[in-house]
């Protein structure tokens, strides 16, 4: 890159030098031409005033040449027929060709003054001719000098031009090199600094660069790299969670399958000695398959919530009838666990998916019944606070120890694994609850005291503001 910047810089500079040189020489050449022309015209006019047209013309043009002081200057007197009367460079003008058709002579005859640049065959060089009609209008006085424009001065100019080109090139090479370095060095430093990304906790340091854009590049690159690293970390973390989930799920499925297989083998080998035992084995098999069905349903629910199958159908859900329906369906369970189920509900409604809300209430109330004590109580209240619906599920059950309060929302986490298994738990219920609450931008809070009871408070906004979720 440094080389490329350097090369382009020099190329542009050379082009600029050539262009300015050409413009300069054209302008100078024009000025020179105008100046020489007007000087010559002045000399011709002076000569016209001094000439005695009745005297010896040859002697007069010779002395004009002498006065001019330049060997190469030539004076010619021509009459109106084009005949050369006298020429400072030719001894016998009668031998000379008629000059009537010479461009400058023709022009002088027509308009009084004539110019021409022509190569003189006699002198073998380019000549500038200026011709003027005499004041008595009888003759044309012509003056000629060698003229090759700027070329005439080229030789004397060449050293100066060469020196200025060399000096300019040298200075610009140094400047180009410095400029190229000032651009590439920061980029190199930024790239080197970025290598720190490989470290666990990189500490980036950038100096203040001369060009603001470099500071922006440094800042943006750093932020981008950190963001990439962060998302890689998140992906790794999610992969680990997923792996853990699959291994837990497989393990959870393997346990009931093993016991089902065990009971089937017992039955196959006629180990069930009587009808009662056979029925017992079959009911255990049924219970295990129910557990597996629950587990698979919960896994599917979690997976649907996780893959953000967000286009769930939303409608206005009336909370009271829904809670009542869930409580009614759980009455047999409450009876089985000798728990009294009561509810207190204010008529409220919210935009939601009825299936998700049913799963939310059902999980919380089922837990409150199953992790309870005989003659225990479960109370469900639905109230509102501002624009939120507040659902409280309170029980007088076994409670949750302080150090498990956060963890109960993790997948497959159970405080008492044996008890959970016995009551047909999957360890996924509260994780599902947390997902659903999160889906509606709500919150969940847990207060609990071991052997006294637990209280889950769920807050849900009545209106969903996220347009993606409204269908
Ligand atoms: N109301 C409650 N009272 C006491 N413990 C509870 C209650 N709700 C949940 N838990 C504890 O939290 C664990 C996780 O609950 P959950 O995710 O619903 O799984 P499970 O399938 O075991 O019910 C349960 O195993 C239980 O130990
Ligand atoms: Mg549960």
Q: How confident is the model at residue 417 (pLDDT cuts 50, 70, 90)?
A: confident
Q: Are 385 and 411 in contact (CB under 8 A)?
A: no
Q: How confident is the model at residue 224 (pLDDT cuts 50, 70, 90)?
A: confident
Between β-strands 376-385 and 339-345, what pairing exists: parallel, antiparallel or unpaired? parallel
All domains in the chain, ordered by first residue:
2-153 (3.30.450.20), 230-309 (1.10.287.130), 312-469 (3.30.565.10)
Q: Has residue 82 got a pLDDT over 60?
A: yes
Q: How confident is the model at residue 460 (pLDDT cuts 50, 70, 90)?
A: very high
Average confidence (pLDDT) over 154-162: 80
Supply the mean pLDDT for the chain: 88
Q: Ligand 1: distance of its center to the CA of 63 in Å?
A: 131
Q: Can you say whether residue 100 is alpha, beta or left, with left for phi > 0 and alpha for psi between -120 and 50 degrees?
A: alpha
- Give strand pairing partners of 392: 381, 457
The 10s digit of each residue's pLDDT in 16-64 is 888 987 888 788 878 888 888 898 899 899 989 988 988 888 999 898 8
The answer to which of 187-201, 317-331, 368-382 has the lowest mean pLDDT is: 187-201
Chain-centre distance for alpha carbon 148: 59
Nearest to 217 by CA among 187, 179, 178: 187
Give the predicted TM-score (pTM) of the model.
0.60
Task: Tell me if residue 132 falls in helix, strand or coil.
Answer: strand
Average confidence (pLDDT) over 326-348: 95
The residue assigned the tokens 């100066």 is 160
Exposure class string for 92-112: b at 16+ Cβ within 10 A, else e: ebeeeeebeebebbbbbbeee
Which atom belonging to ligand 1 lies closest to the Cα atom of 428? 17
**End-to-end Cα separation, the chain, in angstroms:** 54
Nearest to 109 by CA among 121, 100, 119, 96: 100
The 10s digit of each residue's pLDDT in 275-285 is 999 999 999 99
Rounded distance between C-alpha atoms, residue 295 and residue 292, angstroms: 5
Q: Ligand 2: distance of its center to the CA of 289 in Å?
A: 17
Q: Has residue 195 got a pLDDT over 70?
A: yes
Q: Are 376 and 396 in contact (CB under 8 A)?
A: yes
Kindly state if the Cβ of 429 falls inside 6 Å of ligand 1.
Answer: yes
- pLDDT value at position 318? 95
The answer to which of 99-108, 119-128, 132-141 has the lowest mean pLDDT is: 119-128
Average confidence (pLDDT) over 244-273: 90
Q: How confident is the model at residue 471 (pLDDT cuts 50, 70, 90)?
A: very low
Rounded distance between C-alpha atoms, residue 84 and residue 97, angstroms: 8
Q: Are 454 and 395 in contact (CB under 8 A)?
A: yes
Q: How confident is the model at residue 344 (pLDDT cuts 50, 70, 90)?
A: very high
Most confident range (mean pLDDT) of 162-171, 414-423, 451-460 is 451-460
Best of 376, 413, 414 for a ligand 1 pocket test (most atoms within 8 Å of beta carbon): 414
Q: How confident is the model at residue 150 (pLDDT cuts 50, 70, 90)?
A: low
Q: How confident is the model at residue 381 (pLDDT cuts 50, 70, 90)?
A: very high
Most confident range (mean pLDDT) of 9-18, 185-194, 292-301, 328-337 is 328-337
Q: How confident is the model at residue 390 (pLDDT cuts 50, 70, 90)?
A: very high
Best of 362, 371, 402 for a ligand 1 pocket test (most atoms within 8 Å of beta carbon): 371
Rounded distance between C-alpha atoms, residue 219 and residue 224, angstroms: 9
- pLDDT value at position 365? 97
The 10s digit of each residue's pLDDT in 135-147 is 999 999 999 988 7
Q: Ligand 1: distance of its center to the CA of 295 in Å?
A: 14
Kindly state if the Cβ of 444 falls inside 6 Å of ligand 1.
Answer: no
Rounded distance between C-alpha atoms, residue 226 and residue 201, angstroms: 10
- pLDDT value at position 28? 81
Average confidence (pLDDT) over 250-264: 92
Q: Count the Cβ atoms, other than its own, within 10 Å of residue 466.
A: 10
Q: Count the Cβ atoms, other than its own, within 10 Å of residue 88.
A: 21
**What DSSP string describes 372-414?**
S-TTEEEEEEEEEETTEEEEEEEE-SS---GGGTTGGGSTT--
- pLDDT value at position 215? 87
DSSP letter assigned to residue 153? H
Which atom belonging to ligand 1 lies closest to the Cα atom of 395? 1
Kindly state if the Cβ of 416 falls inside 6 Å of ligand 1.
Answer: yes
Average confidence (pLDDT) over 410-437: 89
């Amino acid at each position: 890159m440094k080389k490329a910047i350097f090369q382009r810089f020099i190329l542009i500079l050379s082009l600029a030098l050539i262009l300015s040189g050409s413009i300069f020489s054209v302008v100078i050449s024009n000025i020179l031409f105008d100046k020489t022309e007007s000087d010559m015209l002045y000399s011709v006019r002076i000569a016209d005033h001094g000439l005695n047209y009745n005297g010896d013309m040859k002697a007069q043009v010779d002395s004009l040449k002498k006065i001019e002081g330049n060997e190469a200057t030539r004076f010619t007197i021509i009459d109106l027929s084009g005949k050369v009367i006298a020429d400072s460079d030719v001894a016998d003008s009668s031998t000379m060709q008629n000059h009537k058709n010479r461009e400058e002579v023709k022009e002088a005859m027509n308009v009084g003054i004539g110019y021409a640049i022509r190569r003189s065959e006699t002198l073998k060089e380019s000549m500038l001719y200026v011709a003027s009609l005499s004041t008595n209008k009888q003759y044309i006085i012509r003056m000629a000098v060698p003229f090759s424009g700027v070329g005439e001065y080229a030789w004397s100019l060449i050293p100066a031009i060469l020196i200025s080109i060399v000096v300019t090139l040298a200075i610009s090479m140094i400047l180009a090199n410095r400029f190229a370095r000032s651009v590439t060095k920061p980029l190199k430093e930024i790239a080197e600094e970025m290598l720190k990304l490989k470290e666990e906790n990189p500490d980036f340091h950038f100096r203040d660069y001369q060009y603001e854009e470099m500071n922006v590049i440094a800042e943006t690159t750093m932020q981008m790299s950190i963001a990439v690293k962060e998302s890689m970390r998140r992906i790794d973390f999610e992969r680990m969670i997923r792996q853990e989930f699959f291994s837990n799920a497989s393990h959870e499925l393997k346990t009931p399958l093993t016991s089902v297989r065990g009971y089937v083998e017992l039955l196959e080998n006629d180990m069930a000695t009587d009808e009662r035992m056979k029925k017992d084995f079959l009911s255990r098999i049924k219970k295990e398959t129910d557990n597996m069905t629950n587990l698979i349903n919960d896994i599917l629910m979690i997976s649907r919530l996780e893959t953000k199958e967000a286009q769930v159908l939303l409608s206005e859900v009336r909370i009271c009838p829904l809670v009542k329906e869930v409580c009614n369906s759980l009455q047999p369970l409450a009876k089985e666990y000798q728990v009294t189920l009561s509810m207190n509900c204010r008529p409220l409604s919210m935009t939601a998916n009825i299936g998700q809300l049913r799963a939310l209430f059902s999980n919380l109330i089922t837990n409150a019944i199953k992790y309870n004590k005989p003659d225990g109580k479960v109370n469900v209240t639905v109230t509102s606070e501002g624009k939120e619906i507040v659902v409280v599920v309170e029980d007088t059950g076994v409670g949750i120890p302080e150090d498990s309060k956060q963890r109960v929302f993790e997948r497959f986490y159970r405080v008492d694994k044996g008890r959970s298994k016995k009551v047909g738990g999957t360890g996924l219920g509260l994780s599902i609850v947390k997902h659903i609450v999160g889906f509606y931008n709500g919150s969940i809070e847990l207060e609990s005291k071991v052997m006294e009871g637990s209280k889950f408070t769920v807050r849900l906004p009545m209106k969903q503001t996220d347009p993606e979720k409204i269908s």
